[in-house]
Amino acid sequence: MAPNQGAGEVVLRATGISKGFPGVKALTDVDLEVRRGEVVALLGENGAGKSTLIKILSGVYSLDKGEIELEGKRVKFDLPSEAKAAGIGIIHQELNYVATVSVAENIYMGDIPKKGLVIDYRRMYRGAREIMAKIGVDIDPKMPIGRCTVAQKQLIEIAKVIANDVKVLIMDEPTSALNDVETENLFRFIGQAKSMGIAIIYISHKLDEIFRIADRVVVLRDGCVTGRLDAKTATREALIRTMVGRDLTDMYPKTPGAPKGVAIEVRDLTNDALFGVSFAARKGEIFGVYGLLGSGHQDLGAAIFGQTIVRSGEIWIDGKRVKINDPLDALKNGVAYVPAERKTEGLVLNNTVRVNMLSAFYAKNSRRRFTNKRFEAGITDKWIKNLSIKTPSGETRVESLSGGNQQKVVLSKCLELEPEVMILNEPTRGIDVGAKAEIYRILDDLCRKGKCVIMITSEMPELLTMSDRIMVMHAGRIGGFLEARGATQEDVLKYAIGG
Amino acid sequence: MAQNSNTPARSRLRRALTTGDASSLITVSTALVVLLTFFSLASPYFFKPTVFLNIGMYAAIVGTLACSMTFINVSGNIDISGGSQIAVVGMIAAVLIRSGDVPWWVGMIGGILTGSMCGMLNGFFITVFKLNAFITTIASMQMLRGIAYLISNGQTLVISDQHFKFIGRGYLGPIPFTLVVLIVFYIIFYFVSRYTVFGRTIYMIGGNPQASFLSGIKVQRTKFILYVINGTMAGFAGVMLASQSGAGLPMAAPNANMQALSAVILGGAGLSGGRGTIGGTFIGVMVLCTLNTGMTMLSISSFWQDVIVGLVLLISVSIDAIKSGGLKRKI
Amino acid sequence: MAQNSNTPARSRLRRALTTGDASSLITVSTALVVLLTFFSLASPYFFKPTVFLNIGMYAAIVGTLACSMTFINVSGNIDISGGSQIAVVGMIAAVLIRSGDVPWWVGMIGGILTGSMCGMLNGFFITVFKLNAFITTIASMQMLRGIAYLISNGQTLVISDQHFKFIGRGYLGPIPFTLVVLIVFYIIFYFVSRYTVFGRTIYMIGGNPQASFLSGIKVQRTKFILYVINGTMAGFAGVMLASQSGAGLPMAAPNANMQALSAVILGGAGLSGGRGTIGGTFIGVMVLCTLNTGMTMLSISSFWQDVIVGLVLLISVSIDAIKSGGLKRKI
Amino acid sequence: AETAPIRVGFANINEKGSFGKMVLQNMKKVAAERGYEIICVDNNSDGATAVQNADTLISMDIDIMIEFNVDQSVAPVIMEKFNAASIPVIAIDIAHEGATFFGADNAFAGTLAGETAGDWVNKNWGGEIEYVVLIVQPVSGPAVAPRVKMFPEGIRNKGIAFEDSQIVEIDGQNDAQFTQARFADFLLAHPDAKKIAVATINDVAASGVYAAAETAGRAENIVLVSQNCTADFVEPMYAVEGKTNWIASIAYFPNRYGEFVFNIVDKLVAGETLEPAYYIDHIAITWDNIKEWYPIDNLPWAGL
Ligand SMILES: Nc1ncnc2c1ncn2[C@@H]1O[C@H](COP(=O)(O)OP(=O)(O)OP(=O)(O)O)[C@@H](O)[C@H]1O
Ligand SMILES: Nc1ncnc2c1ncn2[C@@H]1O[C@H](COP(=O)(O)OP(=O)(O)OP(=O)(O)O)[C@@H](O)[C@H]1O
Ligand SMILES: [Mg+2]
Ligand SMILES: [Mg+2]
């Protein structure tokens, strides 16, 4: 392999890594090396084995075969604490925080500063503040982390790792919950880390990021390395082809909407996070909702759908005022909702694909009191085929599916309801490009069938390309409306920051 | 997919056998077979139809409670007040029947409804205030036991009604009536768990209440219903026990709840919710009751009985845990 | 952020008072004050230093157990085998002391170490096989109780050593020795929970074991240590009890575990982990022991006592739940 | 012609106490001496268990039943089963209608305890009593309740007068330490009481009572009489050589139950007519007679 300019000696070298789970071969003979001051991007579809690989490097999983060398010495990590002590810092894909303790304690989890036998609280709080400052964050270190927003939690997750002296920094989709400003701050930090000679492994499904910060790209597919590319010279198309094994011609298959009248109207919706939000979304359009974190856009879907408590406001569907006290009322009124967190809100992980797909169906069609396996299998197979869900069968437990495929199960659960109004909250978070394109195709389809799609998102590209109209939120209120056609990122951001 | 070296069917079978409900079912069934074989060899009196019918007759109390308790556990909850509920039920039934003002069956129904009401009490606190189920039922366990004593000021109330006797002590041909009732209950609960939307719902809210709520399931209402069902089943168990012992006993069923819970756990419904089967619980009940009868027949000292019951529980959950990779798991 | 209309300091105070640990502390302290006031008004003998010292003296057994059990609960686990551990400890101490071969303090230390070993047994199954803590301790509760009986074949073992008697019945000036021990324990545990890394680690693994593990905390080792500590504290409690009753009793402490658990829950450490304080538990213990003493002084029937204890538990957790918005929560 | 030995079923009260233990030991010993086959099970002090054990024993083809069940209310059910199987029953301590009774006379034992205390009070406290405390135990069932409930009557038999309002009941919950704490509470609530007569249902509870009194420094203020005369009473009595206010325990001689019961069994087998009831001669064991009945070098529970 051609040595990269500016990169030093190899810090971490993994050779011949193999790992199997019951019934699954997650990694086969994978080699990976990272040098001082270098960013290696790890790319691949959902379920390709990226997270598994880095969990092996950080002592979370034990490996079946292969070797790991750190600075030329053979190492074996049985526990995360050992990897951490050896200088490997990792930010996992899932947020890992303890909601009941303070921000500072989360940051220093595992090695709280001591003075003698006793915790040095002063040093801990001061240190926490300094570390957060490094990535441009200002949060009260004494606050219980449970009160932070998702983005703040993600940033704290990053702070947690850089609190230690790391030789290798591994980041698994660190930006999936961050907005552009926060992402910029992170990249600035990565730049500093590089110059300090830290070796970095970076995982993301956002290809733009890869081009911005990576030096090299290693692509995984089905647990094998299918390509090693130089980030400076590789093209987007080449990356996608190596990842998914085919060309992806149309990433955003949006056909212009032909709206036919109001599907849902929300008047003066008010609760803890929303203050008098009113809007109307039409049949046959994708109604994009954008906001910076904390602007209330994340709370909008849950409020309409009856998940959270609404203090006042009215919801009108198809010209009739409806009362939605809980999700069942919403379902019965033709509203379906894809929540932001599929694992905690969308899926019963220890149950099968089939049961998950039909969960809302039976709730909505409450006259069906008996289950019918054949009937269900038909529906399940239909969606597995239509959405090309990668699963051994409908009887597989969803916990063993990859993130993207889990997301498709949530989608099919809602699609089977044939809703008039479909609300999606961050529908493509953590989803690979291939699956993303498929989800966009589904949304476009719905829209063409005259359904109303409300897409709540923090991802600017999908907002601008998939929406017909855009509502931007700011501080729990509406910042403004835009026609998506011709709108630019700057227009959207102007409303988002309340300008 | 690349990962499958075996044929899909074989690997699916293997997976089914090594993980989840099927695995527990195999463990507990094996335990039952081992015990039956052992006792048959060890005691000349054990391997006889009358003995088995007898085991079934007395299994009815714990078995009835364990049946609905399976649902409670599958839904991710717990009830440890079952024994106290049984005691209150027996006392109320005895008071009604002894009053002489009402026919025996009114006493029976009164007892069963008392059970339902105890269940409502638990369900109310758990679903309205959203209290933890364990905490709620610790409290109601104490309160209901106190009430059982208060009803008669600590006296036992002998029931001499001849009809009422039949419930716990009667036979249909050679089969004890309680065993028939028990089997009917298990068939109904099995059917509900496998073929109804309600049964499905229990597994879902046990697996992920939040996701179930967002799927339009009335989580709190379902939980409330489950506690009422569990109380009603405690009602049936209490009536059977009162009939079996011919009296309302305020100290009745001191260990019934732990035994039922042990049976449920043996049967594979742990405490984390979303897992477990009615069939597993049935076999779990049989394991415990066979153990009791077999050890009694062998005159094993009751100290050893405690130790052995604890060991059986511990070993079988350990086997389950090892089969599903517990040893290798780091957390 | 937009939602704060108050000043930060005021809103922080209000937040502290209405949510989490502080809220429970207020509820349970209020309960204590109410009870003290009530009993002082209702009985002329109640409001006296000797009475309070006496409450403290007998609170030591349950209090000692509840102290370490708080850590177990905060770490998201549970132990229901404490009463059986106490019984085994008392029996071993009695056997050693009665043997006459060793001085009394060897018996004491032997008893305490027996407790540690019981804790190791629980810890082993919970951390090596990754068994559910409740299930494990249900099993060990039965096994250890059986073992307590087996040690002496069910006999009470009278201990007449005069030195040993001091532990449970002695006074330092006017203060019962057990109360001194209890207070020392609570000070140590309070200090550990607030000011040591180990203490904070308990809160972390209770709040999110997965995250703690990934952050480099040795979750299983910590849990193991917690069970050993809990066993050791059961050892202290068992020795105090053996000394207090002057005998090793195989049936000792039948309700100690439930009482300790109730105290811990009253004190605000629920069962979901990550919450609870040592101070809260201390007050919880005092509430229960005050209730017992006060009700005895008023000659309230023991049936009512059960009902009242259950009610106090239920009401105080309900108040906590309501204050933290349980009524309004949809799920 | 000699056939198989006669099979005797024995359902014991509760092997978890030394009382039941001694009964069991003597039953086994005597059965072996006299050539009976004995099958022993444990009723665990629980009526429902006793009912189940009856069926188990019947299915094991016993010829004669010795039933030691403490729950009066399930007696009819048990008897119905044995009658249906035509198995004669000897019931211990609790009357089972249709069975031959052997054992304790609970009311007599309670009265005897009271009379023993009464004699002591007449001698030491000039016949005056301020309180009579009964440590009750509802969980043990109503059948054994007279062992303490008859205590006041026994005292009155000795010419000592007190009002019913001077009688206090405390539930010991079958837990020595709990009993101890509650009796300590009682003492605190009655700081000036100097003459308290206490009765307990067994020696374990009494040990709690006495420990509480000692700890409070008020052992002099009580006179305590308990029941069963087990190690819990005998050992401390020897340890202090009679210098204690726990003056007596009523003996039931569980270590000789086997002997007594098999005398009845022998008569039954020989076809003799039986009396409806055979009672134990309860004796109040005090320091004066303890060496006669429970010599320290030959205690009945020594070999357990
Ligand atoms: N704990 C586990 N148990 C069983 N199988 C697992 C486990 N973790 C991973 N796998 C298997 O390994 C494969 C690779 O998963 P991995 O998480 O590494 O994918 P990924 O590349 O990180 O995907 P994504 O982009 O969705 O994060 C999965 O398809 C899954 O089958
Ligand atoms: N019990 C399991 N059995 C089989 N595979 C599993 C199991 N648990 C997890 N996996 C696999 O592990 C992989 C990694 O899971 P992980 O928790 O890292 O998130 P993910 O599925 O990659 O989700 P996302 O990308 O949406 O965050 C998944 O792709 C899944 O295929
Ligand atoms: Mg991943
Ligand atoms: Mg993943």
User: For the domain that residue A448 is a member of, what is the CATH number?
Assistant: 3.40.50.300
- Give the burial string for D13-43 (b: 16+ CB within 10 Å, else e): bbbbbbbbbbbbbbbbebbeebebebbbbbb
Using DSSP, state whether C103 is helix, strand or coil: coil
The DSSP 8-state label assigned to residue A344 in this structure reads I
CB-based contact A96 C211, cutoff 8 Å = yes
In percent, how much of chain C has pLDDT > 70? 94
If you search the block for the tokens 């025996």, which residue do you land on? B104
Return the pLDDT at B15: 54
Query: Which residues of chain B have a CB within 8 Å of the CB of D51?
Result: 244-245
pLDDT > 80? residue C20: no
Whether B331 maps to a domain, the answer reads no
Please check whether residue B327 is in contact with residue C128, taking contact to mean a CB–CB distance below 8 angstroms.
yes
- B190 to chain A, minimum CA–CA distance in Å? 13
How far is C-alpha A246 from the chain's CA centre? Answer: 24
- Give Cα separations from A236 to A38, A142, C186, C187, D196 (angstroms): 20, 44, 63, 63, 96
| Residue spans of chain D under pLDDT 50 | 1
Return the pLDDT at C156: 86
Whether C317 maps to a domain, the answer reads yes
Please check whether residue A198 is in contact with residue A36, taking contact to mean a CB–CB distance below 8 angstroms.
yes
Query: Which residues of chain B have a CB within 8 Å of the CB of A393?
Result: 8, 12
**Rounded to 5, what percent of chain D is helix, strand, coil?**
45, 20, 35
Nearest-10 crossing angle of helices C197-207, C219-245: 110
Return the pLDDT at B8: 53
Phi, psi (deg, nearest 5) at residue A252: -115, 90
Q: How confident is the model at residue A290 (pLDDT cuts 50, 70, 90)?
A: very high
Tell me chain B's radius of gyration from C-alpha atoms.
21
Whether C84 maps to a domain, the answer reads yes
Alpha-carbon gap, residue C264 to D166, rounded angstroms: 38
Give the total residue count for chain D.
304
Whether C330 maps to a domain, the answer reads no
Alpha-carbon gap, residue A47 to A432, rounded angstroms: 9
Whether A340 maps to a domain, the answer reads yes
Pocket of ligand 1 contains residue A46 by CB under 6 Å: yes
Query: Which residues of chain B have a CB within 8 Å of the CB of A390?
Result: 1
Whether C306 maps to a domain, the answer reads yes
* Tokens representing residue C47 in the block: 């409001």
Dihedral (CA of B109, B113, B115, B116) sign: positive
Alpha-carbon gap, residue C67 to C64, rounded angstroms: 5
Task: Indicate the residue among A244, A270, A295 that finishes a domain.
Answer: A244
Among residues D105, D93, D113, D73, the alpha carbon closest in space to that of D19 is found at D93
Using DSSP, state whether D182 is helix, strand or coil: helix
Closest residue in B to C271 (Cα–Cα): B132
Among residues D36, D11, D29, the alpha carbon closest in space to that of D304 is found at D29
Residues A267 and A229 in one domain: no
CB-based contact C314 B128, cutoff 8 Å = no
Return the pLDDT at C6: 42
Average pLDDT score, chain C: 91
Among residues A186, A187, A214, the alpha carbon closest in space to that of A4 is found at A214
What predicted TM-score, i.e. pTM, was given to this entire model? 0.90
Average pLDDT (A405-417) is 94
Whether A205 maps to a domain, the answer reads yes
Q: Which domain holds residue A421?
A: 262-496
* Tokens representing residue C41 in the block: 């008004």
Per-residue pLDDT tens digits for C224-273? 999 999 999 999 999 999 999 899 999 899 989 999 999 999 999 989 89
Query: Which residues of chain C have a CB within 8 Å of the CB of D142?
Result: none
Longest dimension (CA), chain C: 74
Q: How confident is the model at residue A486 (pLDDT cuts 50, 70, 90)?
A: confident
* Tokens representing residue A368 in the block: 């069906």
Ranges assigned E (strand) in chain B: 157-158, 171-172, 175-176, 247-248
Among residues A300, A307, A295, the alpha carbon closest in space to that of A151 is found at A295
pLDDT > 80? residue C295: yes
**Which residue minimizes the CA distance to atom 5 of ligand 2?**
A400
* Tokens representing residue C221 in the block: 């080792």
How far, in Å, from the CA of A444 to the mean position of ligand 2? 28
Residues 6+ apart with CB under 8 A from B82: B65, B69, B230, B234, B237, B253, B256, B257, B260
Residues A184 and A319 in one domain: no
Q: Which domain holds residue B181?
A: 2-324
Residues 6+ apart with CB under 8 A from D270: none
- Give Cα separations from C203 to A161, B288, C226 (angstroms): 20, 37, 12
Ligand 1 pocket test, pick from A402, A407, A409, A439 with the greatest ligand atom count within 8 Å of Cβ, gives A402
- Give the burial string for A255-271 (b: 16+ CB within 10 Å, else e): eebebeeebbbbeebeb
Q: How confident is the model at residue B9 (pLDDT cuts 50, 70, 90)?
A: low
Pocket of ligand 1 contains residue A44 by CB under 6 Å: yes
Per-residue pLDDT tens digits for B80-100? 999 999 999 999 999 999 998
Whether C290 maps to a domain, the answer reads yes
Number of domains in chain C: 1
CB-based contact A80 C200, cutoff 8 Å = no
**Which residue minimizes the CA distance to atom 10 of ligand 2?**
A400
Average pLDDT score, chain B: 91
pLDDT > 50? residue A189: yes
Residues 6+ apart with CB under 8 A from C25: C267, C268, C277, C279, C280, C283
**Edge-to-edge order in the sheet of strand A199-203:** A88-91, A168-172, A199-203, A39-44, A216-221, A224-230
HEC profile for D47-92? HHHHHHHHHHHHHCCCCEEEECCCCHHHHHHHHHHHHHCCCCEEEE
H-helix or E-strand spanning residue B319: helix B302-323
CB-based contact C318 B125, cutoff 8 Å = yes
- Give Cα separations from D15 to A42, C154, D9, D43, D69 (angstroms): 68, 7, 15, 8, 12
Choice among A106-120, C14-28, C156-170, D237-251 with the minimum mean pLDDT: C14-28
Cα within 13 Å of Cα(A192), Cβ side: 10
Alpha-carbon gap, residue D71 to A432, rounded angstroms: 71
Residues A269 and A134 in one domain: no
Ligand 1 pocket test, pick from A17, A27, A52 with the greatest ligand atom count within 8 Å of Cβ, gives A52
Alpha-carbon gap, residue A136 to A429, rounded angstroms: 24
Ligand 2 pocket test, pick from A19, A399, A432 with the greatest ligand atom count within 8 Å of Cβ, gives A399
* Tokens representing residue C328 in the block: 């309004």
- What is the bridge-based pairing of β-strands A114-115 and A118-119? antiparallel
Number of domains in chain A: 2
Alpha-carbon gap, residue D101 to D67, rounded angstroms: 10
- Paired residues of A144 in beta bridges: A102
Pocket of ligand 1 contains residue A221 by CB under 6 Å: no
Return the pLDDT at C13: 54
Whether C210 maps to a domain, the answer reads yes
Alpha-carbon gap, residue A422 to A405, rounded angstroms: 19
Q: Locate the ligand 1 atom nearest the alpha carbon of residue A93 and give its number.
A: 27
Per-residue pLDDT tens digits for C189-232? 999 999 999 999 999 999 999 999 999 999 999 999 999 999 99
Chains D and A touching, counted as 3 or more CB pairs less than 8 Å apart: no
* Tokens representing residue A27 in the block: 């990694």
Residues A79 and A180 in one domain: yes
Whether A1 maps to a domain, the answer reads no
CB-based contact A326 B218, cutoff 8 Å = yes
- Paired residues of A73 in beta bridges: A70
Q: How many helical (H) and strand (E) elements, i.e. helices and strands, does chain C have?
A: 14, 4
How far, in Å, from the CA of D54 to the mean position of ligand 4? 61
Pocket of ligand 1 contains residue A391 by CB under 6 Å: no
CATH of the domain at C304: 1.10.3470
Cα within 13 Å of Cα(D81), Cβ side: 27
Whether B188 maps to a domain, the answer reads yes
The DSSP 8-state label assigned to residue C315 in this structure reads H
**Which residue minimizes the CA distance to atom 9 of ligand 1?**
A52
Per-residue pLDDT tens digits for A69-109? 999 999 999 999 999 999 999 999 888 999 889 999 999 99
Alpha-carbon gap, residue D167 to D36, rounded angstroms: 48
- What is the bridge-based pairing of β-strands D100-103 and D277-279? parallel
Residues A224 and A283 in one domain: no
Query: Which residues of chain B have a CB within 8 Å of the CB of A355?
Result: 200, 203-204
Query: Which residues of chain B have a CB within 8 Å of the CB of D59?
Result: 45, 48, 50-51, 54
Chains C and B touching, counted as 3 or more CB pairs less than 8 Å apart: yes
Whether A255 maps to a domain, the answer reads no
pLDDT > 60? residue C62: yes
| B146 touching chain D per CB within 8 A | no
- Give Cα separations from D193 to D196, D209, D221 (angstroms): 7, 15, 7
| C255 touching chain D per CB within 8 A | yes
Average pLDDT (C75-92) is 97
- Find the CB nearest C197 among A97, A112, A273: A112
Return the pLDDT at A7: 55
- D129 to chain B, minimum CA–CA distance in Å? 28
- Paired residues of A14 in beta bridges: A32, A68
Alpha-carbon gap, residue A79 to D44, rounded angstroms: 49
Q: Which of A220, A362, A424 to mutate to test the interface with B (most CBs of B within 10 A)?
A: A362
Alpha-carbon gap, residue C111 to C122, rounded angstroms: 17
Residues A411 and A461 in one domain: yes
**Which residue minimizes the CA distance to atom 18 of ligand 1?**
A49
CB-based contact C169 D214, cutoff 8 Å = yes
Return the pLDDT at A175: 87
Return the pLDDT at B2: 40
